[in-house]
Chain A
């Protein structure tokens, strides 16, 4: 009894509920999956031999890596200048741009994939426009090829690359660039020698995030790619549907997981090496195309240093680009990227109100017929109701469990904290199809397959990760001295938590709950595996319908899915989230 009470007093115990849910629904099953893949207890590598046997399988594996690498590279190329321009913009413009990037980030990937089907499809927007103007005589094959896969994947992943980059770039002290220029560095030199190395952490985390999620991509390649563009996730999903040979399935899943981990290790090491290299200038010239050329350039450059050093004062407070032309290029680039990010969604919203019989753009008239068809169809609104119920339950469960875990993690030793955080984030960092299969296995054991409780648990394991991350972030800003102050005034641990800690991390908790709800409301891959025959959530029904027909009702559903996160965010903003955020911001000034 006494030891139990002692344990209860330890902060690590607060992570108990979260770990228990994770372990039962996801942790134990994935270990079982691993054992199954080796035919335990007999232990053989027959399943892996079976995987690597047919050349087609190996081709799918290599293709998965290739598509992920290319998509990540394209994302980085577009996101880096975008993030730079956002970080350099004025404060108000920057906030507006970040919101514009957040909107697609919060919209479900399924809806955004659907938008590209509408745009690129044989009867889609582009082909229709070209046909109408007589530019082509028959529809061009814009969809079901590699190009479409890249367009869709980059579109979906771009916010995840831009956001970490912006946050790191905004943290870079601007006076460092000024300092470099005061010492005679040309603007481009200052950028490459000072700004770029300092932005590497953002590049690194953005690339890792995008790459790992790309590896597990399922919906987008399945919907936009041709038969030759199958990725490992698609392959595994088709295995699930056709045979359900657990051994084979487990082996494929662990091949995918191994690829993810190996590539992570390589990418991680390589990038950290680069950032270290830039610290040592002597090694830098080795990477130039021609050392001789670089040396000559540097020699000529020496003459201009005094001149530049004198001029830096005048240039110091001038905005980013010096020339009009550069500014114009920057603005054009930003506008194009924002169009790419937002136009597909906007298009779906506009078309959902069209009066025609098919999807058309521009719409021939305004009508609510597809919304009527949505609310008139019990299958649709039943699915919507199921999604809402599941979402609310997931939000409540994961917020409670995740907040406790975050508080516990905040008070444990750093080593243990980072390890446990990694464990809790596994369900959202592992390729989603693997999480789906493990969860399937776990729910079968619990006898909850095809039940609402089952779906709630399946969504909660991912939602906990979001809550932990967001609440941890607001706890990191929280001054632990405030708790000590409360304790010194005779407030017990519970009173301290309720009276001081909780009110101050409330924005984080609300944010976590919102993310948990949206995660559940948008989830389709795991749901498709564990929902069984009778349960249908809104995205699941939509995914099934997309694959079978292009019913304009889907546009109405998609619009609802787009507007929901916006609506929730707006409510939060109006009802005091802003004031609480303002309070948090005012605190550092208090401490100073």
Chain B
């Protein structure tokens, strides 16, 4: 009898998240956050699987940081509910939520040494000093900072500070890792190194990770799934590949990578297919081929669309060559990989652009 009731209750408790099954570790249920009249996050619903690396991507003011701060417990939602491991955390203060956070400016305690910084979360969990020292040393070794324990944070380089911040978030083994613009303060080379480092740490520790960023490259390289946010609402959720290849909206297409929009009034393709109502044809710059105006037609010509134009600008960027081609009223961006026996077009030359009909995507305008 009792058993029966328990099972019933279990079923009832799990019902709302049934479609995500037990694997959903974090769930936003129509969460809204208002700052006075301004709506920072609007009816956000989102489920994150255990062990998943999810990136929230969006321009500043899109509500991504607010969403993260609500998950961390630093701001309370105006309405809606946030669940961690199936339990509402509305009444749980931030210091009782088990999570590691890497802050935008790292927030390393400037008055404590690296060792004491790493020790802090362990100390708060009541671990004995001897054991703490072992853990800290192991962690420092893992992130290649052995021997740096006695330094103050101000004596470290940006990359080293970043690694200390990451280790401090991970050392107490919380089930959840939150990253707030983790690589924003680093220069380009270091950023690429740290992306690799974060990726490997994620593989090794397998933490459910939520990362907030406005850097598309960071989002593409790190994530299992990307949430594109715009003005407090989710624009699209998908894997990096799907998001890049099949963006749902014009905003998503533009925010993640470069995009050409083939819009009817200014743009007349030789053989055009009218896009469905309310959508616009989108083409990634690297899908377009450049050829001489009088070049012989290719074999697969019946599968291609052709447009003539004049080269306005050519930019050489290492492995890539970028053309800006004027076709009628529109400007088309073309990206070509640099190859040995490639024909180079100069500004003013007439060219014919062509692409596979199947590479054109229709996105919501």
Contacts and interface: CB of A to CB of B under 8 A. Distances in A.
Contact of B168 (A489, A583, A590, A591): A489
A583 B108 CA distance: 13
Contact of A487 (B95, B98, B110, B168): B95
B209 to A, nearest CB: 14
B109 A482 contact: yes
B94 A487 contact: yes
B121 A489 contact: yes
B111 interface: yes
A502 to B, nearest CB: 10
Nearest to B72: A488
Interface residues of A, number: 27
A376 to B, nearest CB: 48
A352 B107 CA distance: 54
Nearest to B169: A488
A504 B103 contact: no
A587 B154 contact: yes
B53 interface: no
A504 B111 CA distance: 7
Contacts of A503: 111
A532 interface: no
B154 A481 contact: no
A500 B103 contact: no
Nearest to B121: A489
Interface residues of B, number: 35
Nearest to A490: B124
B247 interface: no
A490 B105 contact: no
A496 B125 CA distance: 14
A504 B110 contact: yes
Contacts of A504: 110-111
Main secondary structure of the interface of A (DSSP, over half): helix
A485 interface: yes
Contacts of A499: 120
B106 interface: yes
Given A484-B74, A592-B185, A489 B110 contact: no
Interface string A548-586: 000000000000000000000000000000000001101
Interface in A528-559: none
A583 B111 contact: yes
A438 B64 CA distance: 53
Given A487-B95, A488-B169, A589-B154, 12 more contacts: A482-B110, A484-B74, A484-B107, A485-B103, A490-B124, A490-B125, A491-B124, A493-B95, A495-B124, A586-B154, A587-B110, A592-B158
Interface of B: 72-74, 93-101, 103-111, 120-121, 124-125, 152-154, 158, 161, 168-169, 172, 178, 185
25 contacts: A481-B103, A481-B104, A482-B109, A485-B101, A485-B108, A486-B109, A486-B120, A487-B93, A487-B94, A488-B100, A488-B169, A489-B100, A490-B98, A490-B121, A491-B124, A493-B95, A496-B95, A499-B120, A503-B111, A583-B110, A584-B110, A589-B154, A590-B108, A591-B105, A592-B185
